[in-house]
């Protein structure tokens, strides 16, 4: 696929940090006209799951989505809200992002993301916290299930909180997975160097200053470009 040379600078979202960078470049220039038909269902299922988690969390300051969400998020921080649900951070420094939950520790906020996949497996050694209070401790029942996308998103949100002057120096983050039973605690500090490298690349891709090319990846199966590439050519005479 050729890429139009027209360039528009777009802030980097957490979603842009993983996946095919060629697709990212294409979509930055023209939204794909043939979206993944399963995407709407997945988005809807994820929203239902997030709502079920929200309903089990106590003490939330809920930010309603839509216009003014950034202002309301900042106001909640100013007011010292302990748990901010649906937080939308100001777009700045070429980054935009939101966190299902911001948790206030003694010296600032950490991001907690809610994801529609497993974040842990049976085993031992993960650091987890109960949903209703922040008490991280070693968990003898589960081990952390690594997920590149989650790691990059937590690093992205941590950077945004730092740049806003609201981040906790603990550099911790958390994820709540499909079991909805616990917060899996992540140390974000060790992820930041890899994150910065990835962020710089995706920022350049979005700006049109980094070359990209098609590669065969699993994502091709769900990509409009991948589907058209696999479509058989019409037979002659038909
Ligand atoms: S078809 Fe594959 S290589 Fe091409 S843009 Fe889509 S995901 Fe990337």
Complete DSSP assignment for 17-51: GSS-HHHHHHHHHS--SS--TTHHHHHHHHHHHHH
The pLDDT tens digits for 69-124 are 999 999 999 999 999 999 999 999 999 999 999 999 999 999 999 999 999 999 99
The larger pLDDT score, comparing residue 4 to residue 51, is at 51
What is the residue with the minimal CA distance to atom 5 of ligand 1? 23
Task: State which CATH number among 1.10.3470, 3.30.70, 3.90.320, 1.10.10 fits the domain covering 1-226.
Answer: 3.90.320
Q: Which two tokens stand for residue 85?
A: 């649900």
The pLDDT tens digits for 164-205 are 999 999 999 999 999 999 999 999 999 999 999 999 999 999
Q: Which is the closest atom of ligand 1 to the Cα of 229?
A: 1
What is the residue with the minimal CA distance to atom 4 of ligand 1? 214
Which residues are near ligand 1 (CB < 6 Å)?
20, 22-23, 26, 214-215, 217, 219-220, 223, 225-226, 229
Q: Which is the closest atom of ligand 1 to the Cα of 226?
A: 1
Is residue 231 pLDDT above 90, yes or no? no
Q: How many angstroms is it from 56 CA to the middle of ligand 1?
A: 39
Say what the pLDDT of residue 35 is. Answer: 60
What is the residue with the minimal CA distance to atom 1 of ligand 1? 226
- Rounded Cα–Cα distance for residues 234 and 238 (Å): 7
Cα separations in angstroms, 62 against 87, 103, 135, 224, 231? 8, 12, 22, 36, 46
13 φ, ψ to 5°?
Answer: -95, 165
The pLDDT tens digits for 11-67 are 999 999 999 999 999 999 876 655 666 778 888 889 999 999 999 999 999 999 999
Instruction: For residues 135-146, give the mean pLDDT.
Output: 97
Cα separations in angstroms, 98 against 16, 25, 169, 232? 13, 22, 19, 41
Boundaries of every domain in the chain: 1-226
What is the residue with the minimal CA distance to atom 2 of ligand 1? 220
Instruction: For residues 136-143, give the mean pLDDT.
Output: 97
């Amino acid at each position: 696929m050729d890429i139009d040379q027209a360039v528009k600078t777009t802030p980097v979202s957490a979603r842009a940090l993983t996946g095919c960078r060629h697709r990212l470049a294409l979509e930055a220039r023209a939204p794909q006209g043939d979206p993944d038909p399963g995407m709407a269902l997945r988005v809807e299922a994820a929203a239902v799951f997030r709502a079920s988690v929200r309903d089990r969390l106590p003490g939330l300051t809920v930010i309603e989505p839509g216009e003014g969400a950034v202002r309301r998020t900042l106001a909640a921080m100013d007011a010292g809200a302990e748990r901010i649900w649906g937080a939308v951070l100001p777009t700045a420094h070429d980054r935009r992002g939101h966190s299902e939950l911001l948790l206030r520790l003694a010296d600032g906020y950490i991001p907690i993301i809610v994801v529609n996949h497993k974040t842990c497996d049976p085993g031992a050694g993960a650091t987890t916290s109960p949903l209703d209070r922040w008490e991280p401790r070693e968990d003898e029942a589960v081990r952390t299930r690594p997920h590149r996308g989650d790691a990059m998103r937590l690093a992205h949100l941590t950077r945004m909180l730092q740049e806003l002057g609201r981040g906790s120096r603990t550099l911790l983050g958390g994820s709540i997975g499909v079991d909805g039973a616990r917060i899996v605690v992540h140390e974000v500090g060790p992820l930041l160097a890899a994150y910065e490298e990835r962020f710089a690349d995706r920022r350049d891709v979005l700006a049109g200053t980094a070359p990209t090319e098609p590669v065969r990846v699993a994502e091709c199966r769900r990509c409009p470009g991948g589907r058209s590439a696999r479509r058989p050519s019409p037979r002659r005479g038909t």
